[in-house]
């Protein structure tokens, strides 16, 4: 790929892909978006997608997401609203209503997706069903699916099998303290067998459910341990966020059972040891109250688990690779193919199908663009393409453990001359963020203090103020508290005019400094140059400084350190504004060493670069600046060029005339507005 040129950058340039897909996960279709969805995933993903469009061309980038229409949270949310008399209609109507609300919220936050539909809605839903059938069939034909009989919770009082969210208990995974665990996963992303769940309770009846056998298809995830390990090595080698490799490696350990030493457990274990599959015993490590039993395979571990539990011995299982469930028997779901003529009527568990949903959604996006379904391969199979997936840290098991293995397992192994496309899916670059807290704790709609929805925030802040703040929070490094003053539970803080609102820190850069720079340039052009931008060479030292900033910005974007982007831009915009202000004062004082025309040439140059670099962060205001400068957005918001002056954006006639006409700026015009609630009454 030919590098797009930015002259004067001596630092090593990042290598960008020819094409890119950016994803932002898929919010469940059971509720509106909360601020964590928007601030922790969608805004960062949108910022990065916009940067990539500017950097490698808008036609080469797809930003994909949509509503996850299936899964137990949707079933359970629908049931509760219907029983409470809060909703009338079908389950499909319920999902559609929530999807429309999610889409409206994303639009309000200037999140611009190539497609945002649903796994069971519209064209994306159709493509998704087709691709799911093809993908699962390929896994089966390649020999990586196993039909296994497993236990599923059944509520005898309600006479029904329970979906995942209709069972609550404590997580059985060693070291996990979650008391919000469902049928086979906890709210921290740990996977386990249903029979391991501690103290299960049916949410329908409030009683302990039974376990009954059902047959489903499972993906042989443990068979891909070596390939997953190689994928982790690649993540580390290219400098991905440390939490990615750290979390994935936790699941690459051997199958282990931790046995609590209380209640004569060791003596009881010794009496059973000969009945257990071959294993290695390890004494409790210092400070621990459990000894360890390590097994060669997950099946051996499960046999031992059943024997130990049958004897009432208290155990926990360690994180390891376990068979990954593909199907279930819940009616509301993507239909699974009947692979052996004996499993008709199964649906696909929502997690695996949500992993390949971005691929089927890419097919839909290509269709909307007038291309055929196979066009998705240019984004998902070309070695010169890259997929960037923005996710929450809790979902790393699915995207970082299960997904890489599924991609390898599903490739077409027929690489004969008749079939020159082996269909190898590109592995993703995972952009995992920590939790966006509300105050100092994890946001919870069931807590004493209700966190605001994303929509409620727009009653107090503009979308651009919030976007800038969310991006500055450094969620790549740690969980960070979101502390909007209007929602502070402490009334003395909420009502005190002398207490600053931390959310407005980045917003003031927009509404005060960036506004002032843009207005000053345009008013000066109106007052002294007849609404034209003077053209000519920019001061060489300024060009050198700007191109160093652009190099640093690009290198930072390559590492997806968006909080550092905000730091770079805060410094750059303030210095650009000071350059104008200092020069304007000297012009007003008739300093012979300062030329008004040269000052404005330099200042418009600084404004152009600031607007380009802030475009991914605050696109609405930057587009308005571009409109007043009267340049084509496609050309203005592009990294194609030398960035030595604004002449490269102008026609030869304008360059010869030494000026470019700009739109007249009315008095008191803002490019970045404060929210009406922020004005003193």
What pLDDT is recorded for position 192?
A: 79
Phi, psi (5° rounding) for residue 259?
-110, 120
Residue that is written with structure tokens 């670069």 in the block = 609
Helix (H, G, I), strand (E, B) or coil at 118: strand
Query: What CA–CA distance (Å, rounded) separates 596 from 580?
Result: 10
To the nearest 10 degrees (0 to 180), the angle between helices 540-558 and 43-56 is: 130
Over the chain (681 residues), the average pLDDT of each successive run of 10 is 43 88 95 93 98 97 97 88 94 97 98 97 97 96 93 85 83 83 80 84 89 92 96 94 94 94 91 96 90 96 93 90 92 94 91 96 96 92 96 94 96 56 82 92 65 94 98 94 93 91 95 97 96 96 96 97 97 98 93 90 98 98 98 96 95 96 95 92 57
The DSSP 8-state label assigned to residue 681 in this structure reads -
Contact between residue 194 and residue 209 where contact means Cβ atoms under 8 Å apart? no
429-433 and 385-392 as β-strands: parallel, antiparallel, unpaired? parallel
Which pLDDT belongs to residue 9?
44
Single out the residue of 10, 22, 5 nearest to residue 639, CA to CA.
Answer: 5
DSSP-derived letter for residue 213 is E
The separation between CA 598 and the C-alpha centre of its own chain, rounded to angstroms, equals 44
Q: Please give the model's pTM, rounded to 2 decimal places.
A: 0.91
DSSP lists the bridge partners of residue 257 as 293, 317
Distance CA 551, CA 528 (A): 34
| Percentages (nearest 5) of helix, strand, coil residues in the chain | 45, 15, 40
DSSP 8-state class, residue 296:
S
């Amino acid at each position: 790929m030919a590098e797009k040129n930015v002259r004067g950058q001596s630092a090593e340039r990042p290598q960008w892909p020819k094409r890119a897909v950016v994803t932002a996960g898929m919010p469940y279709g059971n509720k509106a978006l909360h601020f964590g969805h928007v601030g922790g995933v969608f805004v960062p993903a949108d910022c990065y997608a916009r940067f990539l469009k500017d950097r490698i061309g808008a036609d080469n980038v797809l930003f994909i997401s949509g509503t996850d229409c299936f899964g137990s949270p949707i079933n359970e949310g629908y049931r509760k609203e219907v029983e409470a008399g809060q909703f009338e209609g079908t389950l499909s109507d319920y999902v559609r209503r929530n999807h429309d609300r999610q889409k409206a919220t994303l639009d309000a936050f200037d999140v611009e997706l190539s497609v945002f539909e649903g796994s069971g809605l519209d064209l994306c839903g159709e493509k998704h069903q087709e691709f799911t059938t093809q993908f699962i069939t390929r896994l089966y034909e390649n020999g990586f699916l196993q039909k296994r009989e497993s236990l599923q919770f059944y509520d005898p009082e309600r006479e029904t099998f329970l979906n995942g969210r209709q069972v609550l208990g404590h997580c059985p995974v060693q070291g996990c303290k979650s008391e919000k665990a469902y049928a086979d996963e906890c709210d921290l992303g740990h996977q386990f067998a249903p029979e391991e769940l501690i103290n299960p309770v049916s949410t329908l009846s409030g009683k302990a459910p039974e376990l009954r056998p059902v047959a489903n298809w499972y993906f042989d995830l443990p068979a891909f341990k070596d390939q997953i390990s190689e994928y982790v090595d690649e993540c580390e080698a290219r400098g991905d966020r440390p939490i990615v490799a750290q979390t994935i490696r936790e699941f690459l350990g051997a199958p282990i059972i931790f046995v609590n030493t209380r209640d004569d457990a060791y003596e009881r274990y010794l009496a059973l040891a000969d009945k257990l599959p071959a294993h290695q015993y390890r004494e409790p490590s210092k400070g621990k109250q459990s000894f360890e039993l390590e097994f060669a395979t997950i099946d051996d571990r499960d046999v031992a688990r059943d024997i130990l539990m049958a004897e009432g011995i208290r155990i926990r299982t360690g994180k390891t690779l376990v068979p990954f469930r593909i199907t279930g028997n819940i009616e509301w779901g993507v239909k699974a193919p009947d692979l052996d003529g004996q499993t008709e009527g199964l649906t696909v568990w929502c997690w695996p199908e949500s992993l390949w949903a971005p691929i089927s959604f890419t097919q839909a996006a290509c269709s909307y663009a007038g291309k055929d379904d196979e066009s998705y391969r240019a984004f998902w199979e070309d070695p010169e393409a890259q997929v960037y997936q923005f996710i929450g840290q809790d979902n790393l098991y699915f995207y970082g453990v299960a997904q890489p293995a599924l991609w390898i397992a599903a490739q077409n192994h027929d690489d004969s001359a008749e079939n020159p496309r082996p269909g190898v899916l590109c592995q993703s670059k995972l952009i995992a963020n920590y939790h966006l807290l509300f105050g100092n704790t994890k946001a919870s709609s069931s807590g004493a203090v209700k966190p605001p929805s994303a929509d409620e925030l727009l009653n107090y802040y503009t979308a651009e103020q919030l976007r800038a703040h969310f991006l500055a929070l450094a969620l790549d490094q740690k969980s960070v508290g979101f502390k909007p003053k209007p929602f502070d539970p402490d009334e003395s803080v909420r009502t005190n005019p002398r207490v600053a609102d931390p959310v407005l820190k980045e917003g003031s850069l927009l509404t005060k400094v960036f506004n002032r720079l843009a207005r000053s340039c345009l008013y000066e052009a109106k007052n002294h140059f007849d609404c034209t931008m003077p053209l000519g060479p920019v001061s060489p030292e300024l060009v050198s400084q700007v191109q160093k900033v652009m190099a640093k910005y690009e290198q930072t974007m390559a590492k997806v350190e968006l909080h550092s982007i905000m730091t770079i831009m805060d410094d750059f915009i303030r210095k650009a504004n000071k350059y104008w202000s200092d020069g304007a004062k000297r012009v007003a004082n008739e300093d012979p060493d300062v030329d008004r025309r040269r000052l404005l040439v330099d200042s418009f140059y600084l404004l152009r670069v600031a607007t380009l670099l802030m475009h991914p962060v605050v696109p609405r205001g930057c587009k308005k600046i571009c409109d007043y400068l009267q340049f084509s957005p496609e050309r203005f918001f592009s990294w194609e060029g030398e960035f030595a002056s604004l002449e490269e954006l102008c026609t030869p006639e304008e360059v010869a005339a030494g000026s470019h006409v700009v739109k007249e700026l009315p008095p008191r015009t803002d490019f970045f507005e404060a929210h009406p609630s922020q004005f003193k009454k």
